[in-house]
């Protein structure tokens, strides 16, 4: 296994390109959206898992685990990625062997497992926002825009970017080398002088050791829910509520689909309401609680909020909205451009892909 890891790391560019190409070619497999697509979906899932594991090896092999993440937390993003690769196979196989209605029991089980893993990851990372559903580690701790980063940068620039500790280390090293050369460079030095130089050299080395303390890995203390609520107050509680709503929304959605059916507006409306409430809370935290307990989002977290808003477009592909509105618009647009060479062909293929993808919950779940 170690030899394989080393091979993947040495050929990481080739492995990454090959994985992307293989995943893209799976869309060209025959009977992609037919009733008997277990084989193609199984191939897609296997390739997806293989690519996910290789990417995990590439990301983790050359570096040591971050001090604030334990060994168990490192496996959470990998587990989530593997589950996302397997969920379509689970849906297709469940529909094939148990029927359209009973397949939702297996989808509910899959979403429940993902929700539990994400909640565990959310807790294990000290209640940080999940990036890409937990598939991307949130290691950016630079959340406070009030940090004097620019001031420090200007100060370093004015002083030639020199660190006084580094300068003194270089001076001590030069003095130590000079003392060593003075002690061994000539054969006419007396025993008394050699002893004096040796003692002086040892004092210099001792001072250098004091200036250069050993590097100690300090394990960062994980924030608990009580500490978060104590430090951030109402804003902290609302942030946790918004993240929990985001994590549990897919599970709530499929539970209501199981109860009312995919053609009912109730699951669609409840899912949209949960998304709206969670995003509203996270986007407007500054309006609640004390100003001194503000929660500052890092740039990756702000990008994540924008990504979640873009996922709302999937509601256009979810029934019953898709059947009643979106599909009619797509077919009418296709008919208008059908006589146009090349454009009509590509439009037909795009509509075909969208209609086919819409039949699978896992393609449009946004989870």
In the numeric block, which tokens belong to residue 133?
A: 């559903």
- pLDDT tens string 132-153: 999 888 876 554 444 443 334 4
Buried b (16+ CB within 10 A) or exposed e, 78-100: bbbbbbbbbbbbbbbbbbeeeee
- pLDDT tens string 31-90: 544 445 665 666 666 666 666 666 666 666 554 444 444 444 447 888 898 888 888 889
CB neighbourhood size of 140 (10 A) = 13
CB neighbourhood size of 344 (10 A) = 15
Residue 311 confidence class, pLDDT cut points 50, 70, 90: very high
Q: Which of 4-18, 134-148, 164-178 has maximum average pLDDT?
A: 134-148
Using only the alpha carbons of the chain, give its radius of gyration.
Answer: 29
pLDDT at 318: 95
Query: Backbone phi, then psi, for 206, in 5-degree steps?
Result: -65, -45
- Show Cβ contacts of residue 127 under 8 Å, excluding neighbours closer than 6 positions: 223, 225, 228, 236, 239, 240, 243
What does the mean pLDDT of the chain come to? 74
Mean pLDDT of 176-200: 46
In the numeric block, which tokens belong to residue 26?
A: 């799976």
CB 45 within 8 A of CB 37: no
- pLDDT tens string 73-112: 447 888 898 888 888 889 988 988 999 889 999 999 999 9
In the numeric block, which tokens belong to residue 195?
A: 């002893």
pLDDT at 154 over 90: no
| Separation in Å, CA 112 to CA 116, 121, 258, 270, 295 | 6, 14, 14, 18, 29
Residue 165 confidence class, pLDDT cut points 50, 70, 90: very low
Spatial distance between the Cα atoms of 238 and 229, rounded to a whole number of angstroms: 10
Closest CA relative to residue 357, chosen from 309, 301, 300, 314: 314
Domain boundaries, the chain: 1-63+73-139+169-174, 221-313, 317-366
Give start and end residues of each alpha helix (H) in the chain: 2-10, 12-25, 38-60, 71-98, 103-124, 149-158, 164-184, 191-211, 225-232, 234-260, 265-283, 299-310, 321, 327-337, 343-358, 361-364
- pLDDT tens string 318-353: 999 999 999 999 999 989 998 888 898 899 889 988
Please confirm whether the linkage preceding 320 is cis (ω < 30° from 0). yes
Query: Backbone phi, then psi, for 136, in 5-degree steps?
Result: -110, 125
Question: Mapping DSSP to helix (H, G, I), strand (E, B) and coil, where does residue 131 land?
Answer: strand
- Show Cβ contacts of residue 334 under 8 Å, excluding neighbours closer than 6 positions: 344, 347, 348, 351
């Amino acid at each position: 296994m170690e030899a394989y890891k080393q091979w993947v790391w040495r050929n990481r560019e080739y492995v990454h390109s090959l994985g992307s190409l293989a995943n893209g070619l799976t869309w060209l497999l025959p009977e992609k959206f037919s009733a008997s697509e277990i084989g193609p979906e199984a191939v897609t899932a296997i390739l997806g898992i293989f690519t996910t594991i290789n990417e995990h090896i590439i990301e983790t092999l050359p570096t040591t685990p971050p001090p604030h993440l334990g060994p168990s937390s490192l496996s959470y993003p990998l587990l989530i990625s593997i589950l996302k690769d397997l969920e379509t196979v689970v849906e297709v196989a469940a529909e094939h062997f148990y029927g359209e209605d009973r397949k939702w029991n297996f989808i509910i089980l899959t979403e429940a497992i993902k929700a539990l893993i994400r909640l565990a990851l959310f807790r294990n990372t000290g209640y940080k926002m999940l990036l890409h559903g937990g598939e991307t580690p949130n290691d950016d701790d630079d959340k406070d825009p009030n940090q004097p980063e620019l001031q420090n940068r200007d100060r370093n620039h004015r002083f030639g970017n020199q660190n006084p500790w580094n300068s003194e280390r270089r001076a001590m090293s030069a003095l130590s080398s000079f003392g060593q050369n003075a002690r061994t460079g000539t054969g006419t030095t007396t025993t008394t002088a050699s002893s004096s130089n040796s003692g002086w050299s040892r004092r210099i080395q001792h001072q250098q050791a004091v200036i250069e303390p050993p590097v100690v890995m300090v394990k960062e203390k994980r924030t608990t829910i009580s500490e978060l609520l104590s430090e951030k107050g109402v804003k902290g509680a609302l942030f946790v509520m918004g993240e929990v709503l985001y994590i549990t929304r897919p599970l709530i959605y499929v539970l209501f689909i199981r109860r009312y059916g995919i053609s009912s507006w109730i699951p669609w409306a409840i899912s949209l309401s949960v998304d709206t409430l969670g995003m509203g809370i996270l986007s407007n935290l500054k309006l609640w609680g004390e100003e001194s307990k503000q929660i500052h989002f890092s740039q990756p977290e702000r990008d994540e909020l924008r990504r979640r808003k873009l996922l709302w477009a999937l509601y256009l592909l979810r029934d019953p909205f898709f059947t009643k509105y979106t599909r009619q618009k797509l077919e009418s647009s296709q008919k208008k451009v059908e006589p146009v060479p090349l454009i009509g062909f590509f439009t037909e293929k795009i509509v075909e892909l969208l209609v086919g993808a819409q039949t699978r919950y896992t393609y449009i779940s946004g989870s």
